[in-house]
Amino acid sequence: MRQILYISSKTPGQDISVGNILIQSRRNNDAVGVTGLLYTDGTRFLQVLEGEGAAVTATFERIRADPRHHAVVVLSDKAVAERSFGRWAMAHRLPTDPADEFDARVTRMLADASDSVRGTFLGLIAVRR
């Protein structure tokens, strides 16, 4: 099983529909057994992807080439014995979301993640509050 964690930023001038990314991702990821979590506030993206090696590679190559975001930096890419996420999910922070409730929701979504994955998500969310 392969697990990739990356961070990226919205391409300046791109009008991104987070809803479209959600629909595309859910359909594709469910079909190939890719699970994980995508955090976004509409400007930054932080995503962990996990699953069979070939499926994760193909998914990530598609994502990396997507012009809607840029400055894709891989923070971690490793073999894992088992999944940390039961499905693929998105945590979309809206400016109107109370920060504490959002933190609590993402913390629940990260319940089975490794300390390093959890720390990376909660660290980014803390600086984006």
| Binding residues for ligand FMN (CB under 6 A) | 8, 21, 24-25, 28-29, 38, 45, 47, 59, 62-63, 66, 68-69
Three-state secondary structure along the chain? CEEEEEEEEECCCCCCCHHHHHHHHHHHHHHHCCEEEEEECCCEEEEEEEECHHHHHHHHHHHHCCCCEEEEEEEEEEECCCCCCCCEEEEECCCCCCHHHHHHHHHHHCCCCCHHHHHHHHHHHHHCC
Q: How far is the CB of 36 from ligand FMN (least distance, A)?
A: 7
Residues 6+ apart with CB under 8 A from 17: none
For ligand FMN, the closer CB: 68 or 122? 68
Cβ proximity to ligand FMN, 18 vs 122, nearer residue: 18
Q: Which is nearer to ligand FMN, 34 or 118 (CB)?
A: 34
Least Å from the CB of residue 50 to ligand FMN: 11
User: Least Å distance between CB 100 and ligand FMN?
Assistant: 25
- What is the smallest separation between the CB atom of 25 and ligand FMN, expressed in angstroms? 4
Residue 88 vs 102, nearer CB to ligand FMN:
88
